[in-house]
């Protein structure tokens, strides 16, 4: 005997809508068990992890700072995933955007004026888009699996960044630390409010969410993405090119990841370092699915997942537990979202083998 998944004829629309909420509740319940096993009061643990980071104005600013790159990347990934292009290497495109966008302030530190920041953002987007174009071309020209190629490019981008900040881009006045020169005031994204560090990257994220939602729901390109993703043969009959869509999706996703990268470098970090991301590119994959590949859903999901970064730091300080617990919660969210979706759209069926049927 074996277990098989059988597609349901009429899956519940209500459960499909509530699936992310159910996944979050199940993550909370599992979190209670984890805290209990660790010998921590579950209520104190949940408070420190999910409530305490929201009690101060400055921490709300930090929440926005951490959510900004996640949301930008996840919106781009939603376009890829909707068109069935599995871009798993957004982390590399994020890093590439940070590197390329930083070329201007590092190689021309005297550059100043109102044109500098827009130029940095544009160059960063180009860098991320070109890095995303590599797996797209390898898929369309050679049939290479985009999951593997985009993922392997992440490690190339990480090593390139490390080589640059320890070598030719190292700050000559930085006491031999592996970091670039610090950006000047005209090369740093200004703060949106006086009460904290939240910068204009948060505004970019909101604009991108609205613009992408409009593209997906009100334009022919959005219709093309939907048709190719859900019915490739119908798209081919309609004259839509799957190869061109692959190129577009990776360019779009890479550009937004690059914008997230240079916004993080020019906003929160203000220089290049060996590590500029705690894994935003991979977290954005969870956010894209948790937000149901909908830009506005991604906006909310990005804030929730950004909370796990702040919560893990707060729990480490308050309760003395490892900050790696945040990664555990992120993994649990993805696991429960996929599990809920599977059980909503499929039923588990017990299939008896031929020998068992004959014996019966």
Taking the model in full, what pTM does it have? 0.92
3: enclosing H helix or E strand? strand 2-7
Cα–Cα distances in angstroms (integers) from residue 292 to residues 9, 82, 251, 297, 337, in the given order: 21, 10, 21, 6, 10
Find the mean pLDDT for residues 314-322. Answer: 84
Query: Residue 353 above 80 pLDDT?
Result: no
Query: Residue 360 above 60 pLDDT?
Result: no
Query: Residue 355 above 60 pLDDT?
Result: no
Distance CA 78, CA 70 (A): 12
> Which pair of tokens denotes residue 127?
């860098």
Find the mean pLDDT for residues 130-156. Answer: 96
Question: What ranges do the domains of the chain cover?
Answer: 1-40+322-360, 64-320
> Which pair of tokens denotes residue 37?
């096993």
For the chain, how big is the Rg over CA atoms in Å? 22
Alpha helices in the chain (DSSP H): 13-37, 42-46, 57-82, 90-101, 103-107, 116-142, 146-166, 201-218, 220-230, 232-237, 242-264, 280-290, 295-319, 325-345, 354-359
- Per residue in 81-132, pLDDT tens? 999 999 999 999 999 999 999 999 999 988 888 999 999 999 999 999 999 9
Percent over 70 (pLDDT), the chain:
98
Find the mean pLDDT for residues 298-323. Answer: 88
Least confident range from 26-40, 141-155, 254-268: namely 26-40
Residue 356: which pLDDT band, with cuts at 50, 70 and 90? low
Tell how strand 346-351 and strand 2-7 pair up.
antiparallel
- Per residue in 237-285, pLDDT tens? 888 999 999 999 999 999 999 999 999 999 999 999 999 999 999 999 9
> Which pair of tokens denotes residue 124?
């960063």
Given this structure, which CATH class describes domain 64-320?
Answer: mainly alpha
Cβ contact 49:31 at 8 Å = yes
The pLDDT, as a whole number, for residue 358 is 61
Percent over 90 (pLDDT), the chain:
64
The pLDDT, as a whole number, for residue 264 is 95
Query: Dihedrals φ, ψ of 200, to 5°?
Result: -70, -10
Residue 317: which pLDDT band, with cuts at 50, 70 and 90? confident
Find the mean pLDDT for residues 308-314. Answer: 87
- Per residue in 183-192, pLDDT tens? 999 999 999 8
């Amino acid at each position: 005997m074996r277990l098989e998944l059988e597609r349901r004829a009429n899956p519940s629309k209500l459960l499909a809508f509530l699936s992310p909420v159910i996944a979050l509740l199940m993550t909370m319940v599992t979190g209670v068990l984890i805290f209990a096993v660790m010998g921590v009061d579950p209520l104190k643990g949940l408070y420190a992890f999910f409530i305490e980071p929201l009690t101060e104005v400055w921490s709300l600013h930090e929440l926005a700072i951490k959510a900004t790159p996640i949301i930008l990347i996840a919106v781009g990934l939603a376009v890829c995933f909707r068109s069935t292009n599995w871009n798993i290497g957004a982390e590399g495109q994020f890093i590439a955007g940070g590197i390329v966008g930083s070329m201007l302030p590092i190689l021309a530190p005297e550059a100043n004026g109102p044109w500098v920041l827009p130029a940095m953002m544009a160059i960063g987007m180009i860098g991320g888009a070109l890095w995303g174009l590599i797996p797209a071309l390898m898929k369309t020209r050679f049939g290479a699996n985009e999951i593997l190629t985009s993922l392997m490019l992440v490690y190339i981008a990480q090593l390139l960044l490390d080589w640059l900040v320890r070598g030719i881009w190292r700050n000559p006045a930085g006491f031999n630390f592996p970091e670039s020169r610090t950006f000047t005031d005209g090369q740093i994204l200004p703060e949106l409010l006086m009460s904290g560090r939240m910068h204009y990257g948060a505004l970019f994220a909101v604009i991108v969410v609205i613009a992408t939602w409009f593209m997906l729901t009100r334009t022919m390109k959005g219709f093309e993405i939907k048709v190719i993703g859900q019915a490739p043969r119908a798209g081919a009959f309609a004259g839509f090119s799957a190869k061109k869509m692959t190129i577009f999706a990776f360019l779009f996703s890479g550009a937004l990841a690059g914008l997230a990268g240079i916004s993080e470098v020019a906003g929160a970090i203000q220089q290049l370092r060996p590590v500029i991301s705690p894994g935003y590119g991979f977290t954005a994959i969870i956010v894209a699915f948790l937000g149901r590949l909908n830009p506005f859903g991604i906006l909310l999901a990005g804030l929730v997942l950004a909370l796990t970064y702040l919560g893990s730091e707060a729990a480490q300080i308050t309760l003395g537990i490892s900050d790696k617990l945040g990664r555990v919660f992120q993994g649990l969210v993805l696991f429960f979202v996929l599990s809920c979706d599977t059980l909503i759209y499929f039923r588990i069926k017990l299939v008896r083998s031929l020998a068992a049927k004959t014996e019966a």
